Amino acid sequence: MRTWILPPGSVVPVVERRQAGALMLESPVVTPEIVRSVTGSLKASRPALFSLKTEFILRAIEDTLKEWSSMDCPARREAEGAFHAMTGMPAVTAPFGVPLEASAHGAVRDWIRAEVEPLEALDGFVSVPGGPAFRLAGPSLAVFILPGNIPLTWLPTFFACLLGRSPCLIKPGEDDPVTASSFISSLIRRAPELASSVAVLPWKGGTGEIERVVMENAGVVVAWGGGDAVASLTNRIPPGVELLAHGPAVAVGVVARESMNPGRFAQIAADAARDALLFDGRGCLSLSTIFVERGGLYETGEAVREMAKVFGRVAGALPSGRPSLESASLVQTWRGRARARELAGKESALSASNSSMDWTVILDGDIAFPPVPLYRTLWIHPVDSLDEIPNKIIGAGTIHALAFAGPESRRFKLAGELVSSGLTRVCAFGKLQAPAISWSSMGVSPLKRLLKQTAIEK
């Protein structure tokens, strides 16, 4: 399987093959010379990219998305097979259809038209009454450092860069080595005119000289990663290069007392379990904690028993992949702590799969929930009132998504109190893992972050 794509005219690299589990991966030997050649070719392609019409690029994107929306698409099947082999996650647990659906059925076109006004400003200078003529364009070169835990989350920002006429250099994630090259190959096959403006080049993260050359040629770096990786990257970004970092963040849920009743909680539990178990709970939109408000028809203990029953059933339908030793050890540590607190008579309870890391549900209202989501684990935190939640959340990391069940008025009140914690999205349970293409975890659309205006004054 090929993990790379280079623009025409780049230095031809030495290619090596390596075995990765059951996969045979074909990758270039990346050197500073290769990087200089690739970035030079990409930046030189920008005039040709500017000559393409927005409608042409949009059609190429939409046609590729339509192709990939089919389960029978050979490129998608190849990418999915590689991703599932590398991560160990079954297709049902890490479905490519979830991120693809957000971009399909005209969603990209609707998003662009809603946020770029007038749309013609992407094609050339436009005049507006009472103001200067202006044109919108993205940075000179966009460098993507992709995640390996969730597939295709980078698509909206990539589309924004192409439509802003920014050439793109993409570094695939270690656990997702094939998806980027497969998707870009499909795009270029439909629009060969884009071949000179996009490259996929895998290199080992943290490689000093290679990344120095990459960074000094970038206009913007779009990166996904953990706290240490993002901090390291921040320290190495040259002056004048913008960093759009998708660092560690978590999603939480809230069930108001009005929804704590047998008729409603069973469905909430099923939706919450899916939100928590998709992608093995490894994503920034994976549900990690639920605050349940006391005072409903369901007591806390009943809610936990219902959640554990449903969680085990959904975990059977969404089987686990391979947890890292660190992830498994961390879950075992928290399981042991919950058992000890339960035996000591504290308000703590543990429900979990017997001999595996398939699923874990922990109830504890006295100690803070872990700042880093645990592998396939849901933490239930009882509160007497929703008014307690902001103090429990603020300082616990970046909480950028909230699933809520309860009256509309209480949802708006709580959301307003959580804005300072970094909250950027509120939705229903069951919808956390399927955001609209217009949503950004940074709170600002990539279109608005990337597109800069050139004005001609009268």
Looking at the structure, do residues 255 and 292 belong to the same domain, yes or no? yes
Instruction: Encode pLDDT of 298-309 as tens digits.
Output: 888 888 889 999
CB contact at 8 A, 162 and 57: yes
Looking at the structure, do residues 145 and 278 belong to the same domain, yes or no? no
CB contact at 8 A, 139 and 458: no
Looking at the structure, do residues 406 and 330 belong to the same domain, yes or no? yes
Looking at the structure, do residues 40 and 170 belong to the same domain, yes or no? yes
Instruction: Encode pLDDT of 81-132 as tens digits.
Output: 999 988 889 999 999 988 898 888 899 999 999 999 899 999 999 998 878 9
Domain for residue 320, yes or no?
Answer: yes
The CATH number assigned to the domain holding 222 equals 3.40.605.10
Angle at 433 between CA 392 and CA 349, to 5 degrees: 45
Domain for residue 434, yes or no?
Answer: no
Q: What is the pLDDT of residue 397?
A: 60
Domain for residue 2, yes or no?
Answer: no
Distances 95 to 51, 87, 177, 250 between C-alpha atoms, Å: 36, 13, 16, 20
Looking at the structure, do residues 258 and 278 belong to the same domain, yes or no? yes
Looking at the structure, do residues 44 and 191 belong to the same domain, yes or no? yes
Looking at the structure, do residues 242 and 268 belong to the same domain, yes or no? no
pLDDT band at 11 (very low <50, low <70, confident <90, very high): confident
Mean pLDDT of the chain: 90
Looking at the structure, do residues 243 and 255 belong to the same domain, yes or no? no
- What number is the average pLDDT over the span 57-76? 94
Looking at the structure, do residues 280 and 380 belong to the same domain, yes or no? yes
Q: Which residue has the tokens 């659906």?
A: 101
Looking at the structure, do residues 187 and 257 belong to the same domain, yes or no? no
Looking at the structure, do residues 451 and 408 belong to the same domain, yes or no? no
Domain for residue 379, yes or no?
Answer: yes
Instruction: Encode pLDDT of 140-196 as tens digits.
Output: 999 999 988 889 999 999 999 999 999 999 999 988 999 999 999 999 999 999 999
Bridge partners of 135, per DSSP, are: 454
Q: Domain of residue 94: give its range.
A: 15-248+441-456
User: What are the counts of helices (DSSP H) followed by strands (DSSP E) for the chain?
Assistant: 16, 16
- What number is the average pLDDT over the span 360-375? 84
Lowest mean pLDDT among 297-306, 362-371, 374-383, 404-413: 362-371
Which residues lie below 8 Å from residue 416, measured CB to CB, with a gap of 6+? none
Looking at the structure, do residues 338 and 194 belong to the same domain, yes or no? no
Question: Per-residue pLDDT for 314 more than 90?
Answer: yes
Instruction: Encode pLDDT of 203-250 as tens digits.
Output: 887 678 898 999 999 999 998 877 777 777 788 888 888 988 887 778
Angle at 74 between CA 16 and CA 85, to 5 degrees: 55
Looking at the 3D structure of the chain, how many domains does it have? 2
